[in-house]
Every structure is written in C-alpha cells, then in structure tokens.
Structure 1
Amino acid sequence: MHRAYQSITPANNSFLKHKWDQLIYDRHRKKVKTVKAVIDNAPPKTYVHLHLKLKKLQMQEERMAIVERDNRILLDQMAHMMKTGGRVDNRNDYKQRSLNKTKRQQDLLQISHQNHAILQRIKSRQSHYNHMQWEQQWLVNQGYMMNISKYPQPRKTASKTKTKKATSSGSSQQEVKNTKSLSPQSHTQSPATNHSESNLPEVAV
C-alpha cells in the first residue's frame, strides 16, 4: 500500500512517509472533532424552576384548601338549618354614634353666631357717601356748564328738566300746605323750606 502512496513532499522512504502523513491526518481529524466554536450557537439551558412553578402550585393548593373549608362550613350550616328549621336574624339594633358630634355642633353654633354678628354690623353700617349731596352738586355743576357752554341745551331736555323741577316744587308746596293744616308749628318751618327751594340753582336755557 505504501508503494501506491504518492507523497506531496519528497521522501527517501515511502513507507515511513505514508505512516507519518497518516498520523498527522489522524491528529488533525481529532482536533477538528474536539474543537470548540467561537460563537455559542447552542440552545440555552432549561431550568426546572422556570417550567415547574412550585410557588404557584403551593398557592393553588392553599386556595383550594380555603375553598374546601368554606364549603364545609356552609354545608354544616345548611345541615343545621335543615334540622332545626332555620331562623333568619335580620335585626340591627345598632345606633349610629359619633365621637365628635358635640364638638361639631358647638363649632357650627359658633360659626352661625359669628355670621349673624357680621350681618348685623353690615346692616348697621352707614354709607360713607351721601347720594343726595352728590345730586345737588350735579345740579349745580350742570347749571355752571349751561352758563359757560357755547351751544345751549336742546329744548326737549330743557323742558324735561323744567317740568321735573315744577313737579318737584309743586309737590313740596303741597306738602308744606298739608303740614300747615295739620299742625301750628308748620308756620315756623315753612320759611326754611322756601329758603331751601330758593337756594337750588337755576338752569339757563
């Protein structure tokens, strides 16, 4: 067999050359079989605790035990009801109580008193501004404006103001007459009223 072997490199003894080449080839094949891959492409390891969840099985067993205990208690109660005829206790004599009821009532009463006091102070408070005095001042200013204005007031508005003044003066005179007929003290008050009426500003047309 060594005679038919053709070596790649030159050798003096073809038998030994064939033996050595065969030995090198066997070593190479052995290394190829035992070599490890650079990239780990093997499937991951399977862990038992990930597939078989013992904690979940334990919780299921405990839940089943609780359900069986409740069912047994319910069955005993039903058997007792069947034997004794059964009675329903639907009465509830519990009265609702509050630990801070008196304190809340006292606070509510105090708040209501304070609100009432604030309301009374607001009602008894006098206004700081006198609207009657403002109205008189406005009439005076209106008379000044009519005196210094370039264009006079229209007749309609002037006639309206005159009729208002006439009606107000007529009503005041009628009140004065009524007071004279009722009491003798009206004679002393009538000049004052006439004086106050004379002090009103006149509007120039």
Structure 2
Amino acid sequence: MHRSYQPLEPVTSKYLQKRMDDNKYQQHRRKVNDAKPVVDTKGHKTPGHLQLNLKKLQMEEDRLSTISTDNKKLALKLADILRSKGQVDNWNDPPARSMNAQKRRMELLNVCHENQAILERINKRESDYRRELWEEDWQNTERILQDIARYPHGVPLQQVTSIIFKLYTGNLKTLLTQRF
C-alpha cells in the first residue's frame, strides 16, 4: 500500500486521478522549462571593434613585412658575396659636406666678435651708482636713529656689567631698589 498512489482528495477512481495529476505535473514541468528569466544575466555583447584589434594586426603585418624585406636584402648580400670570390670592398666614401658650412662659420665668428665688443663696452662703462654716497647716507641714518633712541646704543652692556659688579660685592639691597 505504501507504493500505491494516494490522492490528496477523496476520488472515485485512483487510476484516473493519477493520470490527471501526472498530466498536470508534466504540463507544469514544460512551463518551467519554457519560462524566460525576468533578469537578464547574459551581460553585454562585446562590440566588434573590441573583439578584433585591427591596429594590432596592422602593426604585426608591418613588422613581418619589414622583417621579410630585411631578410631579402641579407639574402642578396650573401649571394653577392658568394659570387664575388671573396674580394675585399675597400671603398672609402667621403662624408657629404655642406655647401654653406664656410658661410655659417663666418657668421658665427662675426657674432662672437660683436659679443666681445659689447662686453668690452659694458666693462669700460662706469657705474651710475656711487657706493660712497650710500655709505654716507647709512651713517647719517644710524646717527639719526641714535639721536631719537630712548636708550643710547651700548648702554645695556654697561648696565649688565654694573649689575654683575653689585651682585658680586653684595649690594643686593641697592640692586632691588634701583629701577632700570
């Protein structure tokens, strides 16, 4: 009895009820399999220009073409060496010289001479500034500052020496009553 079909509700035919329940279950399973997801989890489709890197392919093709041309040049040089019976090529091709090198050199010399002449004129010119006048003006300024100062310049050193002397001699009472 435990293996037999037991319907949830009381029925007249267990066999028919089992067939109807199986049909409902199969229909439910088909619906679940055919159901589309509500949330799209596929991700974005990668654009074509990102899937195929054309610039990289072009650079690789250029690199391979330069390698092949270099290989062809080397093969031609090796073939020439094999055909020439080992003769030495000792041609010394002179370097290409500029047609106006002399003119540029002369212009450079002229500029150097002009610069030296300007430097000499600058060195011969006397300065417009008079240092003696500046020093006199500074001495006058210091004299005026001493005249208007509340305490003359150099008095603090005399006061410090007198305080030390009074401390040394023991005249502390006169020191405390004295105002500075």
TM-score (norm 1): 0.41
Pair member with larger Rg: 1
Higher relative contact order (CA 8 A, sep 6+): 1
TM-score (norm 2): 0.46
